Amino acid sequence: MTRVFRAALVVALTLMATSTARAQQVAYAATVMTELDSATQAALSREINAALGRGLPAEPLLAKVREGRSKQASATLIRNAVHSLTRRLDSARVALGAMSTVEELTAGAVAIAEGADLSSLRAVRAATNRSIAAPLGTLAQLLGSRVEEKKAVAMIVGLLQRSASPAHLVALGNLVEGDVASGLRPEEAALFRLRGIEASLSFGDKAELSAPTGVGPPSTGTSTQKPQRRP
């Protein structure tokens, strides 16, 4: 009976904490949107509340509103950006599962924005039990560097299966990004850097992040001067 009571108490406290956190998020959202017109505020509140109701995190959506405000974007652009992000977060949640963290969903949404399929997100999820926020960030970075999606996913999954650390994965994305920016072909850069990181894994190392008058033919006699070569 005591155990049942304790279990009920934990569930109640969890629900209360969730409810409190949600209330805080809604209150914070109101402060974020204070400088927006009432129609935009209402539209954004509906969008964010609906997202919260579906279990999506509010933080990335509120950050999007903040970003738009900082950049003095129009209300329409802010609404569209938040709506697009909501859709990407929904997709990421479908692919990654309901238990995904805010960081994972945010990274998944970024990867989707860079062109990742949901199957790619699932493949990365299936490769490890650890957080995949950094691997999904690396996937987004490789896709942004124009590495073919299948190859990018295979590289990341391969590294995760070899227990590569998040730092190794981030190093792969950063190094390929730098190589491609300096003109190397994406596939070559990715393969080259992957081999380097695999080698460091083998050795147990950490990833390394880190008109003058001249002399010419004889004169024709048309002039008393010496012939001149001219540029």
Partner 1 sequence: MHQRLRAFLSGLLIIAVSRPLGAQHALVIDVGLAGAHFPDDNVSAGGPYLRLTGSAMTSQLFGSYDAGAITSIGSASGYGSVRAGIRTGLTPGWNAEVATELSAVAGSNHNGAAGTALLGGRATWTSLGWGGWLHADTHSSGRTNATLLGSGADAGLWASWSQLQISATVLHEATRAELFAGRFRTGFLGTVPVNYSEGSIAVHVEGDRTSFDGSASLRRDPDATKLWETSSLASLAVWAGDQFAFVFTAARQLPDWVRGADAAESFSVGMRFRQPTPERARALRVMPYVLLTDDADPRAFRVRAAGARTLEVMGDFTDWEARPLVRAGSVFDLGAKLTSGVHRLLVRVDGGAWRAAVNTPVVDDEFGGKVGLLVVP
**Least distance to partner 1 from the beta carbon of 5, Å?**
36
Is residue 147 within the footprint of partner 1 (CB under 8 A)?
no
CB nearer to partner 1: pick between 9 and 199:
199
Binding mask 76-105 for partner 1 (x = CB under 8 A): -xx-xx--xx-----------------xx-
Q: Note whether 53 binds partner 1 by CB under 8 A.
A: no
DSSP string, 28-90: HHHHHTTTS-HHHHHHHHHHHHHHHHTT--SHHHHHHHHHHHHTT--HHHHHHHHHHHHHHHH
Does position 21 interact with partner 1 (CB under 8 A)? The reply is no
Nearest alpha-carbon partner for 92 in 142, 57, 44, 47: 57
DSSP 98: T
Q: How far is the CB of 98 from partner 1 (least distance, A)?
A: 18
Amino acid in position 55:
G
Coil, helix or strand at residue 203: coil
- Choose among 93, 147, 94, 152: nearest CA to 127: 152
CB nearer partner 1, residue 2 or residue 144: 144
Binding site for partner 1 (CB under 8 A): 60, 63-64, 66-71, 73, 77-78, 80-81, 84-85, 103-104, 106-107, 110, 113-114, 131, 133-134, 136-138, 140-141, 144-145, 165-167, 169-170, 173-174, 177-184, 206, 209-217, 219-220, 222-223, 225, 227-231
